[in-house]
Amino acid sequence: MRTDTLRTGTARKVKTPVGEILTFAAVAALTVIFLITGARAITGFVSVADPNLRYYKAVVTETDDSLLALPDYGGEREFGLQIVNLRLTEGPFEGRNTVARNSVMPDSYVKPSVGDEMIVSVDVRDNGEIYTMLISHYRVPGLLFAIAVFVLLLIVTCKGKGLRALFGLVFTLVTIFFFTIPRIYEGDSPVFCAIFTSMLTAGVSLLLLNGYTKKTLASVLATFAGFCAAGLIFGVFSALSNLSGYNAQQLGMLSYFAANSGMRLKYLLFAGVLIASIGAVMDVSMSVASAVYEVRTADASLGVNALFKSGMEVAKDAIGTMSNTLILAFTGGALANLMALMGYGIQFNRFINSNYIALEIGQGLSASAALIVTAPLTSLFAAVIYSGRFVKRDVR
């Protein structure tokens, strides 16, 4: 049972539709299936890592920084060799003290202090001695804090819909990490996996959020159209620019993995763009569909043209803000690389034609173009769908 508040301020009890219950049950079942099959696939991966290595948590008890020094060219940080005394706090060697030689380098700056919790690799030698190496700081508390704040704000702000959105988010994460990645790693088509993942997670998220309603139908149709537009635009761009998965930054490492797993690299880049674009496209489609829904709710006499015009006003704002958001997201994610390129004094011709910049710009513009297609189509679909017999029980 759930309580629906009417615009008059009164409340009534509405039975949860059978279709909605079945949807939640089906999504939960699919989540479990992905978890089980994905976990089995992951444990069966052919790993290139040393099978004897294990990773455990340890605490720093003492450091020797006497071999660290500022580089000749100056700077804010010291580099060199750091001797770190550790006490393992988990695993079969819990409580055991060990020493790690930590190379503090510019490209992997890990310089712990006394009391810091670290993740270390432990390699057991033939004589029973253990060899440890610092990997990273232990960041689980920070991650748990961020997750707790996110979940709390989501539920407090959105209440029931927040729980629905959270369920959809969990399903999306499980699908990506326990279905998509294992399937691509084992040699399945990256494009097929990306299409399946994007359509499945988008459809499930929208259904969980609003159920089997006209709003969901309009948003799903527009999301599919925008998704196709993103794929088509980036496909043409990559063909004209001679770009493929072989131009990815991690190609050297991925090529080695592919030789042992059957992974297909050529279309990996295209698959990534498809998955990356679905979120923004779905966001815009639902925003516009909800806006048109509210306009229709306020004035049920409005026809297709009036609803479409109202939706387009929202669509224009959505296009402007989301396009800007994508560019800012690109700049934020690439800021360190952009600063490095500037420091090298790379000329414009080399800069704009480099693999990294071409890929980033192509992805960003393809996603932005897909938004421009999605927003007006959502307005059109919503106007046509809502102008029929209005369903007052539509979930907002």
Does 283 have pLDDT greater than 90? Answer: no
Instruction: Please state, in angstroms and rounded to a whole number, the distance separating the CA atoms of residues 213 and 207.
Output: 8
Does 273 have pLDDT greater than 80? Answer: yes
pLDDT tens-place string over residues 165-217: 999 999 999 999 999 988 888 888 888 999 999 999 999 999 988 888 889 99
Q: Are 128 and 150 in a shared domain?
A: no
Q: Are 21 and 69 in a shared domain?
A: no
Instruction: Please state, in angstroms and rounded to a whole number, the distance separating the CA atoms of residues 226 and 319.
Output: 12
Higher local confidence (pLDDT), 391 or 358: 358
What pLDDT score was predicted for residue 11?
39
Q: Are 198 and 332 in a shared domain?
A: yes
Instruction: Please state, in angstroms and rounded to a whole number, the distance separating the CA atoms of residues 99 and 176.
Output: 38
Give yes or no for a contact between 208 and 165, defined as CB atoms under 8 angstroms apart.
yes
Which residues are CB-neighbours of 105 under 8 A, at least 6 positions away?
Answer: 79
Q: Are 90 and 214 in a shared domain?
A: no
Does 250 have pLDDT greater than 60? Answer: no
Burial class of residue 100, CB neighbours in 10 A (0-12, 13-18, 19+) = buried
Tell which residue, 225, 234, 206, 195, has the closest CA to residue 373.
225
Instruction: Please state, in angstroms and rounded to a whole number, the distance separating the CA atoms of residues 286 and 293.
Output: 10
The fraction of the chain above a pLDDT of 90, given in percent, is 29
Confidence of residue 392 (pLDDT cuts 50, 70, 90): very low
150 within domain boundaries:
yes
Q: Are 192 and 113 in a shared domain?
A: no
Confidence of residue 73 (pLDDT cuts 50, 70, 90): low
What pLDDT score was predicted for residue 21?
83
- Which of 105, 138, 171 finishes a domain? 138
Q: Are 177 and 106 in a shared domain?
A: no
Q: Are 145 and 130 in a shared domain?
A: no
pLDDT tens-place string over residues 290-336: 999 999 888 888 889 999 998 898 888 888 777 777 677 767 767 77
- Which of 93, 114, 138 finishes a domain? 138
Q: Are 270 and 366 in a shared domain?
A: yes
Q: Are 126 and 166 in a shared domain?
A: no
Q: Are 292 and 319 in a shared domain?
A: yes
Higher local confidence (pLDDT), 221 or 130: 221
Helix pair 268-298, 304-343: axis angle to 10 deg:
140
End-to-end CA distance of the chain: 17
| Of 126-135, 149-158, 260-269, 277-286, the least confident | 260-269
Instruction: Please state, in angstroms and rounded to a whole number, the distance separating the CA atoms of residues 74 and 375.
Output: 51
Higher local confidence (pLDDT), 364 or 377: 377
Identify which of 23-27, 59-63, 232-236, 341-345 has the greatest average pLDDT. 59-63
Structural domain span for residue 110: 54-138
Helix (H), strand (E) counts: the chain: 11, 8
